[in-house]
Amino acid sequence: MTDAMQERREPYHYPRRILLMVTGRTPQVVTETLYALCVRQKPPLIPTEVHLVTTAEGAQDARLALLAPDTGRFHRLCNDYALSGIGFTPEQIHVIRDAEGRPVDDIRMKAEHEACADLITEKVRAFTADDDAALHVSLAGGRKTMTYYLGNALTLFGRPQDRLSHVLVPPPFESNPEFFYPTPYDHPLYSNRLERWFDAKDAEVTLADIPFVRLRNSLPSRFKSLEEGQASFTEVVAATQQVFEPPTVTLDFREKGLHLADGRFIALSGADLAFYAWLARRALSRAPAVRIPSKDQRRWKPAEREEYATYLHEYNAEAERTDLRDGTGTELRAAGAMTYAFFHQRKSSIRECLEEAIGPLAEAYAVKAIEAGRPAGYGLDIDRDRIEIVGEGYL
């Protein structure tokens, strides 16, 4: 990777720089984080916009403490350190709402946790869909479950330019509701707990960068596309988990497609379903991998003709009663053998259907080389105990 490419990956090189946080009853974490990013960090990361996910009570605290026209601490921070270009308005405070659309005051019940997780997931998904944006997520505020959802959402959707951090504030200031950031001038604060005075100017606020695993490439494309509509936190986690689970598939002739273990269904054309089922039967019977036939008709071997016969024999009876026959054997009967073109056409068509539906997971279910050699041996790399065929006699 060139130096220019490496620089491009740094967040401060992106035209849109987003700070996303969850907050509760301590809006101070927002200005503390902004101070650490914009003043302490070198080179600084000055967000172009700030977004909060919070409860109804947290939103009120943030509006009054941070954004009030004359006394808002966000405005004071920007004035004290000559920070400009940071967009932060009440419209960028996103309130968690229940199923009826009512603002949630606190995160206690299961439904409230689910609503919180889904809102966070949707915000992270939307921000990371912009290639010109770098997302910085801070775990400094909100309830533990809120920060858990936020960190996990970034793990699911995060890209190389996205960052995760936590702001660290020393004890005399951490618990003081009057402390919002280290000031560039004397600003005495009294600690009721310690019964002492401290100067906000002396606070050492730092930012701890948190490494995280990025699983974005494991997500099906439909979860990354905003055009597909919202996706719940549970759905995204379940889809990602499938990457780490052994593939399990049910071929369904009634519904003409494949059912996966997580409940997703992938429709296939008659030709593709017949081809997939042929290879699935071979896997179930422990038959050897299919060797790709030669492009040159004069070099077809008896084994290749046998594959042609096996394929048609397994499906002729079924195809006569269904529409599976369309496209499954016309070319083969004309050539008298399993052709190179037909094999690759079906293999590619099936992979395209899989990739469109499940993204990177397609590799686990695709028709692919499973035995080395010349020619290579092709089939399904799925355990026979995880393959099922249903609806074979369906009219």
Tens digit of each residue's pLDDT (9 = 90 or more) over 343-359? 888 999 999 999 888 87
Mean pLDDT, the chain, integer: 85
Confidence of residue 341 (pLDDT cuts 50, 70, 90): confident
Which residue, among 347, 285, 362, 277, has the nearest Cα to 319 in the 3D structure?
Answer: 277
Give the burial class of 186: count Cβ atoms within 10 A of its Cβ; 0-12 exposed, 13-18 middle, 19 or more buried: exposed
For the ranges 31-40, 125-134, 157-166, 223-232, the lowest mean pLDDT is seen at: 223-232
pLDDT exceeds cutoff 60 at 154: yes
Confidence of residue 318 (pLDDT cuts 50, 70, 90): low
Claim: this prediction has a pTM higher than 0.85: no
Q: Are 243 and 362 in contact (CB under 8 A)?
A: no
> What CA–CA distances, in Å, run from 390 to 136, 249, 282, 376?
48, 11, 16, 30
CA 67 to chain CA centroid, Å, is 32
Confidence of residue 4 (pLDDT cuts 50, 70, 90): very low
250: which strand partners? 259, 388
Q: Are 203 and 173 in contact (CB under 8 A)?
A: yes
The pLDDT score that the predictor gives to residue 319 is 56
Q: What is the pLDDT of residues 24-66, one digit of tens each?
A: 889 999 999 999 999 999 999 999 999 999 999 999 999 999 9
Residue scoring higher pLDDT (371 or 244): 371
CA 273 to chain CA centroid, Å, is 29
Residue scoring higher pLDDT (222 or 131): 131
The strand ranges marked E within the chain are 16-23, 49-54, 93-95, 133-138, 163-168, 188-191, 196-199, 206-209, 249-252, 257-260, 265-267, 290-291, 367-371, 377-380, 387-390
- CA gyration radius, the chain: 29
Which of 3-12 are b and which e, b meaning 16 or more Cβ less than 10 Å from the residue's Cβ?
A: eeeeeeeebe
The pLDDT score that the predictor gives to residue 1 is 41
Residue scoring higher pLDDT (127 or 321): 127
For the ranges 121-125, 188-192, 197-201, 233-237, the lowest mean pLDDT is seen at: 233-237
Q: What is the pLDDT of residues 222-267, one digit of tens each?
A: 666 655 556 777 777 776 666 667 889 999 988 889 998 877 899 9
